[in-house]
Chains A and B, each alone.
Chain A
Amino acid sequence: MAGERAAFLTQMVEVLTSTVSFGERLNNMVHLLARNLKVDLALYFGLDKARETLLLNVSSQGPVPPRLRLEFPLGQGLVGETARTRKSTIVHRQQPGVSAANAALEKLAPAYQTLAAFPVADDNFLYGVLILADRAERSLTAAERQGVQLTCLMLAAALRQAIVQEEAKKRIAELSVLFEVGKALTSTVELDELLERIVSTTAKVITARGAALHIINAVTGELRVSSRYGQISMECPALPQIPPSGAATEPPYYEGESTDAAGHTHYCLAVPLTFKGQLTGTLGVYDKFNPNGEYLPFDPENRQLLFTMAGVIVNAIENALTYQQVEDLAEKNERMVRNLTALQEISQVMLTSVQEERLQEIILQGLTQEHGLGFDRAVVLIVDEATQTLIGAKGACRSAATRDLPNLKALQVPPPEMIPVTDWEIPLRVDQGPLALAVLRKSPYHHHQTVKEPGLPPALEGKYAAQEFFVVPLVVKDRATGVILVDNQASGRPLEPERLHTLQMFATQAALVLENAHLYSTIETNNRELLLIRERMLESDRLAALSSLASGMAHEIRNPLVSIGGFARRIAKLVEPNSPLRGYVEVIQEEVTRLEKLLREILDFSGENLSYYGDHELAKLIEDTLILVQRDLDANKIKVAREFAQMPRLHCDDRQMKQVFYNLFQNAIQAMPHGGTLSIRTFPVERADGLYAAASIADTGSGIPMEVLHNIFNPFFSTKDYGTGLGLAIAQRIISRHYGQIEVNNEIGKGVTFIVTLPVAKYCLVKDVGQGAVPASVLRVPKGGR
């Protein structure tokens, strides 16, 4: 007996250590046992831990057809009970309850009388249950029982080894996959390439037709990146909010299934990718296939693998994303440096001029040149404070000629093509579109068609067609002095938001230099005005000194003249009409009259006369004066040509003004002793400081000799052997008292034109250089002053 047992054990060990597959070994061991114990049937039930079920794996009668794959839940029947108690039992059919509890076994062992059950377990685990069935009612000897138990232990060892082997195999497979993945991940830091590798490797290791990866910004919900490989048969969610289809303890995943038109079933499996930052996403695989090309559902192992891969991938992707961000930042930095360099260069060029016009040109060049800010088109508009209007100053578009100039020295060359913008006038009101708003709010504006925001002001509709443009205000000391308008309409390049930033920096610089230039020109104008005023004052001082001398003398002369003339008249009355004395007396009378007239003129000139200011029409003053000289005009056969424009009334002393015209007419008449034309024209003149009324008096005489021209306004200067030589001096004095000017255009041989220009008080800011004759209440700030 002992020899038999030893032979059995030897056989068993041989089977156990044989090199056949694990399943084969299991089979052989069960067969060997059945044969050795001479039982009709030996069955091995394996434990499915997850389902707590015992499943028939091996029968000593050969392969088990699917319909006979018996199952016993833990604790049910002899099989279940043995698994639960882990104790070997022998039962017989006639024992109560045995037949009912093990009815299922009838299918394999139809007429069993004896059933023996042994747990297959080692010290730690239960692997399954071994059942021996026999048609005879029998028992097992102690030696037999011991043999079976030994076999069971061997079975357990074999099973454990198989499990360990299986796990090792899985680990190796997993490791090799991870190695693959790792290789893919470390091969590049370029995000796109990396993602491509990830999806292709994923598909490959899972033997799937396709794979896809989505990463979204968890905060905004925007799709950040996505990559696809192979055939994607359906959409799997990009967000890892996947209904948990596994056990609660497992991380969530998604399993999808769909059938296409041809009746093929497609599968998809996706696991979440979770980054520690703000990104999230999914990694999905589609349609696992076997070597025959059939689609298979994904199993838990695939799932596990996908999870593992996801864990590894996440870090690589995060690295790549960070790398990409750093690269973006670096690029942005570089662009910024480029911009700043351009800005600095433009600023330097801007410092080369203080002329507003030139500066505007430089600004436009800086805005439109490739090496400047490179916009296609740019316009500078300036605020007119007086009228509260934004007025086009200068506009330019990029010219092809200057496009490829090597550096900003190009700014010194002629400017790009200018756009006419001086007729752009936009009232500064909130309903006047983005340009007015930029000034009023002192903030930049990015216009694009997609945003239905305030469009162009009515003043620009049609003139300015751009889908997208920037407007930035020119702000100095918290005051918007204008705006810069730029676009890329010609090339259609988009306007990136950071360019607006650069443009703002540029605008700050531009506003400053423009303001400086403006201040400079204001100072220049003021200087010029001061010089002019000083000149006038000097002149009026000279005239004042002269006139006080003249008036002192005149008075001393007047009294004796009155007596001489008066008595001469008396004598004339007494002298006989035919007496030669009469002639003498008349000479005295005439000479006295002439002297008295001279006196009057001198005294008028010295300013003794009172002023009578009122509002008068220039044309009327001229007409009234013409009447006084009509006789002289007729005598010299002089025609009068009139051309009077409609103008506001002048605030002036009408008598003095008539004196001016009288003197000018007299000069003209004397210049045309043999006839000619006296042309009189009135017209308005717009000047920086307001509205002026002008009158030109032109004769067709021979002109004023060049050598005396500079003297004509000097008192007591005369080319004539009659008159006082005060005519033009008086005229000039009266006009300057009215804050006007008198100019002379002299053409030798053609004639002389005097132009009298007088401020229309209500529209002028007249500088008070002499007596303040103009009431302050009618003064207004003139147009155009800033």
Chain B
Amino acid sequence: MKKILVADDEMSIRLLYSEELKEEGYEVYQAANGREALDIVDKIPLDLVILDIKMPEMDGIEALRQIKEKRPDLPVILSTAYGEYKKDFATWASDEYLVKSSDLEDLKAVVKRYLKE
């Protein structure tokens, strides 16, 4: 079973994403900020990370940088309420940049694309 980490400071979002992704047949881990996310990356052989950007303690951009340092092969999808971070080229290290939407079909399609073997 593919392992996915969802990192978002909003609990409701974490819950929504987990539920939906579990339904698609993935094993989902959760983190409330960048630091927690990095811990999980260290401990668990993840297949994909979904990162929010605006988070307390460590934001998604810093987390992204460190994840890509540790595991360059690990696909990271940035999922944020802000479109303008696209201009920050630190986000270009991510594999995908999605603006959050209540319709998760786009997100699920992208995840599926990265994890299709």
Interface residues of A (CB under 8 A from B): 551, 555, 558-570, 589, 592-593, 596, 603, 608-610
* Residue B24 interfacial (CB < 8 Å): no
Q: Which residue of B lies closest to A566 (CB)?
A: B16
Can you spell out 13 A-B residue pairs with CB atoms less than 8 angstroms apart?
Answer: A551-B84, A558-B81, A559-B100, A561-B102, A562-B102, A563-B12, A564-B102, A566-B104, A569-B102, A570-B20, A592-B102, A603-B83, A608-B83
Q: Which chain B residues have a beta carbon within 8 Å of chain A's beta carbons?
A: 10, 12-13, 16, 19-20, 81-84, 86-87, 100-104
Residue in A closest to B105 when the chains form the complex, CB atoms: A569
User: What B residues does A610 contact at CB under 8 A?
Assistant: 86-87
* 18 more A-B residue pairs beyond the given contacts A593-B102, A609-B83, with a C-beta to C-beta distance below 8 A: A555-B81, A558-B100, A559-B10, A559-B81, A562-B13, A562-B102, A563-B12, A563-B16, A565-B101, A566-B102, A567-B12, A567-B16, A568-B102, A569-B103, A569-B104, A570-B19, A608-B82, A610-B87
| Interface pair B86/A562, CB less than 8 Å apart | no
When chains A and B are docked, how far (Å) is the Cα of A559 from the Cα of B13?
8
User: Smallest Cβ distance from B27 to chain A, in angstroms?
Assistant: 19
User: What is the distance, in angstroms, from A658's C-beta to the closest C-beta of chain B?
Assistant: 18
Name the residue in A563, A564, A566, A592 with the highest tally of chain B Cβ atoms < 10 Å from its Cβ.
A566
Q: What CA separation (Å) do A592 and B100 show in the bound complex?
A: 13
Residues in A whose Cβ lies below 8 Å from that of B84: 551, 608
**Are A593 and B103 in contact, with the CB atoms below 8 A?**
yes
Minimum distance in angstroms from A67 CB to a CB of chain B: 143
Chain B CB within 10 Å, residue with most, of A558, A560, A593, A609: A558
For A569, list chain B residues within 8 Å (CB).
Answer: 102-104
- Looking at B81, B84, B87, B104, the one whose CB has the most chain A CB atoms below 10 A away is B81
Chain B residues within 8 Å of A559, by CB: 10, 13, 81, 100
Task: Determine if A563 and B103 form an interchain contact, defined as CB atoms under 8 angstroms apart.
Answer: no
Please name the residue on chain A nearest to B9 by beta carbon. A559
Inside 8 A of A568's CB, which chain B residues have their CB? Answer: 102
CB pair B101 A562 closer than 8 Å: yes
Docked CA distance A551–B83 (Å): 10
* Closest Cβ neighbor of B8 among chain A residues: A559
| C-alpha spacing A592/B102, complex, angstroms | 8
Bound-state CA distance A566–B87 (Å) is 27
Question: In whole angstroms, what is the CA distance A140 to B102 when docked?
Answer: 181
Is the Cβ of B13 less than 8 Å from the Cβ of A563?
yes
Known: A570-B19, A570-B20. A565 touches B103 (CB 8 A): yes
Q: In the complex, what residues of A have CB within 8 A of residue B87's CB? A: 610
A569 to B103, CA, bound (A): 8
Contacts of A609 in B (CB 8 A): 83
Q: Is the interface of A mostly helix, strand, loop or mixed?
A: helix
* Shortest 10 CB-CB contacts between residues of A and residues of B: A565-B102, A563-B12, A558-B81, A608-B84, A566-B16, A608-B83, A562-B100, A566-B102, A555-B81, A562-B102
Of residues B10, B83, B100, which shows the largest number of chain A Cβ atoms within 10 Å of its Cβ?
B83
Cβ of A551: which chain B residues have Cβ within 8 Å of it?
A: 84
**Which A residue sits closest to B83, measured CB to CB?**
A608
A595 to B19, CA, bound (A): 23
Which residue of the partner chain B has the closest CB to A592? B102
Per the bound structure, the CA–CA distance linking A745 and B107 in Å amounts to 44
CB distance from B38 to the nearest CB of A (A): 22
* CB proximity of A590 to chain B, nearest CB, Å: 11
- Say yes or no: B82 contacts A555, CB within 8 Å: yes
Complex Cα spacing A589 to B104, Å: 12
Shortest Cβ distance from A557 into chain B, in angstroms? 9
A562 vs B98: C-alpha distance when bound (angstroms): 13
A484 to B101, CA, bound (A): 73
Complex Cα distance A593/B104, Å? 12
Residue in A596, A603, A608 whose CB lies within 8 Å of B102: A596
In the assembly, what is the distance between CA of A566 and CA of B101, in Å? 8
CA distance A609 to B104 in the complex (A): 21
Cα distance A562–B15 in the bound complex, in angstroms: 12
Nearest chain A CB to B8 CB, angstrom units: 9
Task: Kindly state the separation between the CA atoms of A567 and B102 in the bound complex, as whole angstroms.
Answer: 8
Could you tell me the distance in whole angstroms from the C-beta of B80 to the nearest C-beta in chain A? 9
Q: How far is the CA of A567 from the CA of B20 in the complex (A)?
A: 10
- For B86, the chain A residues whose CB sits under 8 A away are 610
Q: Given that A569-B104, A596-B102, A610-B87 are known contacts, is A562 also in contact with B82, CB under 8 Å in the complex?
A: no
Q: Which residues from B are CB-within-8-Å of A592?
A: 102
- Measured in the bound complex, the distance between the Cα atoms of B86 and A57 in whole Å is 145
> Which residues of A are found within 8 Å of B102, using beta-carbon distances?
561-566, 568-569, 589, 592-593, 596
Neighbouring A residues of B83 by C-beta, 8 Å: 603, 608-609
Q: Separation in Å of the B75 CB from the closest CB of chain A?
A: 21
Question: Would you give the shortest CB distance from A470 to chain B, in whole angstroms?
Answer: 66
Chain A residues near B100 (CB-CB < 8 A): 558-559, 562
Set of chain A residues within 8 Å of B19, measured between Cβ atoms: 570
Kindly provide the distance from the CB of A566 to the nearest chain B CB, expressed in whole angstroms: 4
List residues of chain A with CB within 8 A of the CB of B10.
559, 563
> Closest A-chain residue to B10, C-beta based?
A559
CA A568 to CA B101, docked complex, whole Å: 13
In the assembled complex, how far is the CB of residue B50 from the closest CB belonging to chain A, in whole angstroms? 13
Residues on the A chain within 8 Å of B81, using CB = 555, 558-559, 562
**CA A559 to CA B102, docked complex, whole Å:** 9
CA distance A610 to B87 in the complex (A): 7
Most buried by B among A551, A559, A603: A559
- Report how far A647 CA is from B27 CA in the complex, Å: 56
Q: Give Cα A568 to B20, complex, Å.
A: 12
With a cutoff of 8 Å between Cβ atoms, the chain B residues found around residue A589 in the complex are 102
> How distant is the Cα of A609 from the Cα of B85 in the complex, in angstroms?
10
Please measure, in the bound complex, the distance between the C-alpha atom of A563 and the C-alpha atom of B18, giving whole angstroms: 12
Docked complex Cα distance between A603 and B86 (Å): 13
When C-beta atoms are compared, the residue in chain B nearest to A609 turns out to be B83
Minimum distance in angstroms from A548 CB to a CB of chain B: 11
A545 to chain B, nearest CB (A): 17
**CB within 8 A of A596: which of B12, B16, B101?**
B101
CA distance A564 to B101 in the complex (A): 10
Complex CA–CA separation, A603 to B84 (angstroms) = 9
Which B residues are CB-close (under 8 A) to A596?
101-102
Instruction: Write the chain B residue with the least CB distance to A570.
Output: B19
* Cβ-closest chain A residue relative to B52: A559
Docked CA distance A561–B12 (Å): 11
Give chain A nearest CB distance to B90 CB in angstroms: 15
B11 to chain A, nearest CB (A): 9
Give min CB distance, A597 to chain B, whole Å: 10
> Nearest-CB distance from A608 to chain B (Å)?
4
